[in-house]
Structure 1
């Protein structure tokens, strides 16, 4: 057990320092994300089908940012464990003086509530014709589907349910991760 705890700690430190790419998803299950403030540059959003474990596909909106600075990030998931009950995993970062930083951030979500301001926005673009977001998102796009893009997207008081989050780089200052019995969600 000691080597596995040490390895987990080392990976957590590497993620917090931005040394590793990061991906957060739970096979076939939604998780919640709450953000105090997200300042995004190079934004694109389009619809697609998310492939789940077992071949199930669900509709999602992909929100992608070339660069994002996040104040007050909380991600949580509750996993039901047979004969034990619910187990919650909660990750928090960016609540101190330093912000979470992400490059090539992709969020596959199906619900979003926020106060948003977009600058240089273009609504109704074909997904295959977007130019403002990250370049490595073509594998998820249906080229003819509806999309929108903006030079800048600033969101506050964000609450969303998502199926997957990934980033080329995810710097998590003040990272805190906890596992607890019962339901402990971000919102």
Structure 2
């Protein structure tokens, strides 16, 4: 999160629900980065970014927040990685790649500590027409919401992931992938986002005094 003193929301551990007649698996308040294996710091420390558009830049010292009424994507992969800042600090993340995605009512926010006090950068888009993105790569610290996956595979070797272009990780790494992903009531904390293309309909950008984060 942008401010280290703020409390990180608890990650839900609810059990998965199987829905007869529905292709895919649904998790209530599913947190992608909570998949077993991501917590192993020794493994994460040895992983290197290999995604097609994975951030090759040093991340800032602050994460930022993203929310959306829904994210609907095709071609999804994820594996453990490290986001590194200029001072060399590494942070474990779930590096997620989505071939194509639409986000309804997107909000992105970053809380700043300025000499005159706190301020928040707020970017909004997709209230009427969804935001469209291709080859999205997201360094996820935490993701909460109601998620549904089509044809999901959990525990696959990260080097063999093939559902998203360029979404492969290191050999021996823990990976997951799915043909489709849908997340409703998305609440995400992330360190970096890159995209082959990003179409922001109804874009709004404002810097507001005080705390006006997306959630």
TM-score by length of 2: 0.71
In terms of fraction of residues, the more strand-rich structure is 1
- Displacement, 1:110? 1.0
What is the aligned-residue RMSD (CA, Å)? 1.7
Query: Is structure 2 residue 96 aligned with structure 1 residue 68?
Result: no
What is the match of residue 107 of structure 1? 138
- Displacement, 1:74? 0.3
- Displacement, 1:45? 1.0
2:70 to 34, 37, 41: 37
In terms of fraction of residues, the more helix-rich structure is 1
Within 1, Cα distance between the matches of 2:109 and 2:85? 19
- Displacement, 1:152? 0.4
Query: Is structure 2 residue 110 aligned with structure 1 residue 77?
Result: yes
The answer as to whether partners of 2:75 and 2:100 remain within 8 angstroms in 1 is yes
Which is bigger in relative contact order (C-alpha 8 A, separation at least 6)?
1
Within 1, Cα distance between the matches of 2:76 and 2:125? 22
- Displacement, 1:143? 2.6
The answer as to whether partners of 1:127 and 1:144 remain within 8 angstroms in 2 is yes
Q: How many residues align?
A: 160
Q: Secondary structure at the match of 1:86?
A: strand
The answer as to whether partners of 1:48 and 1:142 remain within 8 angstroms in 2 is no
- Displacement, 1:142? 2.6
Which ranges of structure 1 fall in alignment gaps of 5 or more residues? 1-20
Give a deviation string over 1:126-147, Cα, whole Å, max 9, x none: 1111000122x45xx3332101
Which contiguous aligned blocks of 4+ residues in structure 1 show a shift greater than 3 angstroms? none
Q: Secondary structure at the match of 2:164?
A: coil
2:160 to 126, 129, 138: 129
Within 2, Cα distance between the matches of 1:117 and 1:74? 21
The answer as to whether partners of 2:153 and 2:176 remain within 8 angstroms in 1 is yes
Within 2, Cα distance between the matches of 1:108 and 1:26? 10
Give a deviation string over 1:67-98, Cα, whole Å, max 9, x none: 001111000000111x31112100000001x1
Give a deviation string over 1:20-44, Cα, whole Å, max 9, x none: x9x8x96121101101011110000
What is the match of residue 154 of structure 1? 182
Query: Is structure 2 residue 139 aligned with structure 1 residue 117?
Result: no
TM-score by length of 1: 0.81
Within 2, Cα distance between the matches of 1:27 and 1:49? 13
Q: Secondary structure at the match of 1:101?
A: strand
Query: Is structure 2 residue 118 aligned with structure 1 residue 86?
Result: yes
